Amino acid sequence: MNALTILLALASGIGISMFVPDAGAPAVLLCAALASLAGILVYRVGEDSKKFLLQIFILGLLVRVLIGAATFASNLQNFFSPDAFFFDEGGYTLLLIWQGELHRTAINELMAHASSYWGMLYMVAAIYAVVGRNVLAVQFVSAIAGAATAPAIFLCARHIFQNVKVARLSAYFVAFFPSLVLWSSQALKDGMIVFCLAVSMLATLKLGEKWSIKYFVVLLCALLGVFGLRFYIFYMVVAAIGGTFTIGMRAVTSQSLLRQFIIVVGLGLAMTFLGVLRTASTQLEAYGNLEAVQRNRSYIATSGRAGFNADADVSTTTGAISAIPVGLLHLLLAPFPWQLTNLRQSISLPEMLIWWSLFPLLVLGLWFTIKHRLRQALPILIFTAMLTLAYSIYQGNIGTAYRQRAQLLVFYFIFVAVGFVLLKERAENSKAQAANVKSPPAGRAALPWGASHKTRNV
């Protein structure tokens, strides 16, 4: 399998370099360099699952690279990712400013239009500084982030549930679920956002167990990434982390209280030093009210034929609460068959059928987690609950809700995996009882849910 994976990677790189003129070779070389670095990091943090995590990272990356190259070569960016043109133009403009070809004052005008996603423009400009103006290279960097999200989710799931089967299934979903693959194979910020969210949750889980300078720095970098890519999610992540460390993920001791206090204060000081809190206060004044939410929601609900509940008024607390049920239904389950009015929406139907079939497992997994792993899963539960409710209020467009659901799916899939393994465990127990077969020894339980059981090596 390792040899086959390497051969596929080499064949894909050679094929893209040959059949995508001009852009292919530089993009492949940049992807190979960055993917090698990412692969080393994945292997180092993989502990006893190194080979599995490295394989799923490479396979997930190959799928994304091939889809990204196909959409680029077929000029389908406008069909799948029209926002990519804004990032391309903005990133190239920023590069020209860096090179002195445009006056430095142009950056003020540029950032005025890109205040909510300036981090993406900096990333695009940095890529163009290395390989020239090359949208395919941006797609491949996004693909690396998307593929690296699967190992991060594996580590999150295993940390919470101490179960390799749950962790593996979560990683498979994240690596190969169609919409997650599609959005992270385009020159969009979605892949980077999801990766930063997964890494921030992993670092929070690790810091909740013990203090680590390494994971503190990782958490800080991930939060800065979220802040530069989608600032309003940053506040939810910080709130989830702050709430988690206030409540605690383990039994409360004087040592754990001191550790949690140091982490919260350290994050606050770091954010202040980096100017994040100053910028955040400005953004909150401009966007942190229901009137601003209503203006944005009304625009996206009426600017296309995919809008829903356009008459909703979320400018008041009562209106926002009343919009949640319809918004939640569309966020979690749309598009519905009767809403498929064009080809772009229709191609999502097979995935939606799969997702609807998995939804009962999500509910079962959430129930089990809240009942048995509440404190351990606290950061993910708080964050997903906050973002789910926020998007339920804000979203008024089916396409936008479908796309932004990816930011939640990576965490939902952890609970889907829990639900699946629970049902499988019950079926195996019932079969064993029917056959009057003795249970395996306690130290070799097939599904070690208990905190006292150790996860088997992969």
Instruction: Please tell me the distance from the alpha carbon of residue 349 to that of residue 48, in angstroms, as a whole number.
Output: 38
What's the chain's average pLDDT?
86
Cα torsion angle, 304, 306, 310, 316, sign: negative
365-376: per-residue pLDDT in tens? 999 999 999 989
Cα–Cα distances (Å) from 375 to 203, 255, 366, in that order, read 16, 17, 13
- Comparing 114 with 55, the larger pLDDT belongs to 55
Report if residue 263 sits inside a domain. Answer: yes
Residue 248 has pLDDT above 80, yes or no: no
pLDDT tens, position by position, 31-46: 999 999 999 999 998 7
Q: Which helix (H) or strand (E) holds 58?
A: helix 50-73
Give backbone dihedrals phi and psi of 301, rounded to 5 degrees, phi first.
-80, -20
What torsion, rounded to 10 degrees, do the Cα atoms 143, 221, 219, 379 define?
A: -60
Q: How confident is the model at residue 451 (pLDDT cuts 50, 70, 90)?
A: very low
94-127 tens-digit pLDDT: 999 999 888 777 777 777 677 778 899 999 999 9
How many angstroms separate the CA atoms of 261 and 242, rounded? Answer: 10
- 186 domain residue, yes or no: yes
Contacts of 86 (CB under 8 A, 6+ apart): none
- 439: exposed, middle or buried (Cβ count in 10 Å: 0-12, 13-18, 19+): exposed
Residue of 335, 333, 319 whose CA lies nearest to 398 = 335
Specify the higher pLDDT residue, 336 or 31.
31
pLDDT at 16: 95
Query: pLDDT band at residue 283, thresholds of 50, 70 and 90?
Result: low
Q: Span 207-224, mean pLDDT?
A: 91
Structure tokens at 179: 């919409």
Given a cut of 70, whether residue 304 has pLDDT beyond it is: no
pLDDT category of residue 189 using cuts at 50, 70 and 90: very high
pLDDT at residue 456, as a whole number:
41
Residue 87: both structure tokens together: 């990032």
Other Cβ atoms less than 10 A from the Cβ of 243: the count is 15
Three-state SS annotation for 11-23: HHHHHHHHHCCCC
Within a domain: 180: yes
pLDDT bin (cut points 50, 70, 90) of residue 437 is low
**pLDDT for res 253:** 65
Separation between Cα atoms, residue 66 and residue 180, nearest integer Å: 14
Question: How far is Cα 84 from Cα 72, in angstroms, rounded to an integer?
Answer: 11
Spatial separation of the C-alpha atoms in residues 330 and 325, rounded to whole Å: 9
On whether residue 114 sits in a domain, the answer given is no
* pLDDT computed for residue 427 by the predictor: 87
Residue 84 falls inside a structural domain: no
What's residue 447's pLDDT? Answer: 46
What average pLDDT does this structure show over 191-211?
Answer: 94
User: Is the pLDDT at 457 greater than 50, yes or no?
Assistant: no
Tally of domains within the chain: 1
- Is position 414 within any domain? yes
Distance CA 290, CA 277 (A): 21
Percent of the chain with pLDDT over 90: 52
When pLDDT is cut at 50, 70 and 90, the band that residue 251 belongs to is low
Residues 416-440 have a mean pLDDT of: 83
Contact 366/415 with Cβ under 8 angstroms? yes
Cα-based distances in Å from 116 to 216, 234, 427: 25, 11, 48
Q: What pLDDT, on a 0 to 100 scale, did the predictor assign at position 439?
A: 53
Tokens of 402: 């479908």
Q: Read off the pLDDT band of 252 (50, 70, 90).
A: low
Per the domain annotation, does 412 fall within a domain? yes
Give just the sign of the alpha carbon dihedral 44, 223, 147, 364. positive
The domain of 237 spans: 2-75+134-421
Other C-beta atoms lying within 10 Å of the C-beta of residue 268: 14
User: Contact 10/58 with Cβ under 8 angstroms?
Assistant: no
What is the pLDDT at residue 366?
97
Residue 426 lies in a domain: no
- Average pLDDT, stretch 426-438? 78
Looking at residue 440, what is its pLDDT?
55
pLDDT for 173-185, tens place per residue?
A: 999 999 999 999 9
Q: Exposed (0-12), middle (13-18) or buried (19+): which is 20, by Cβ within 10 Å? A: middle
pLDDT of residue 444: 42
In 3D, which of 311, 316, 360, 355 has the Cα closest to residue 333? 355
- The answer to whether residue 455 scores a pLDDT higher than 50 is no
Residue 231 above 60 pLDDT? yes
| Res 336: pLDDT | 84
